[in-house]
Structure 1
């Protein structure tokens, strides 16, 4: 059950167990429920990557229009990395609010790079950004060679929070 708009009570209305269950218990059950998995889609700006024997798992927890999400991408021995900036789909479309929202990203290979993700207004997907190399501090879009040449066993971990469109 998803969280619903609370009812408007009227003077003299009798509070019943059914009302309390719907208005209080069921709302809290939704808030306390476990995160749910979803299947993200990984694309490249020019040529799409191919997951091969890697894994890509998304999880989210939506409370009202607030969405918390996690994405874990692990490269396999048959994964190909495509060309151009990568994008990964979100569990729900972002609200068309003003300004972008920022989440965290980690690239784990021989080195660990901290980066960020940007959820743009109305977006269905996100891009991860990392320093282009260990010699620079400005961020570039994650791609086949950013922040390093991705290989079997490397991981991209993403977490964030944003307002959904619905």
Structure 2
């Protein structure tokens, strides 16, 4: 009795095709969660100046958070709407998250930001960094699956 050892024959086996489909469905479910969380992190970063009551002393930080938050939110929307094109841009969430963490010290000139503002930016920045890494992990997984 001879068993086939050729890899292309194994790749066409019905059980492997079914298993591959289940893995892709599971990965897409994770992607939906990550995309949604990236979008929510961006929305929070954009509205945080009003949620955390940034005073008039931090107008630069208000504008900074609004722009960076909208950018992160648009990345999340793009990942949800056209993932095949946006997955390669998922890494942009990481430097934007890093910027959110350091911006209270960089953007405020001469005076420091209040502790609540710093904590808000650090938490949403850290969450954005982690979500960006998770999105990159999905990107690498999708790239590896398409090569096979």
Structure with more helix by fraction: 2
Say yes or no: TM over 0.5: no
TM category, shorter: under 0.3
Higher relative contact order (CA 8 A, sep 6+): 2
**Greater C-alpha radius of gyration:** 2
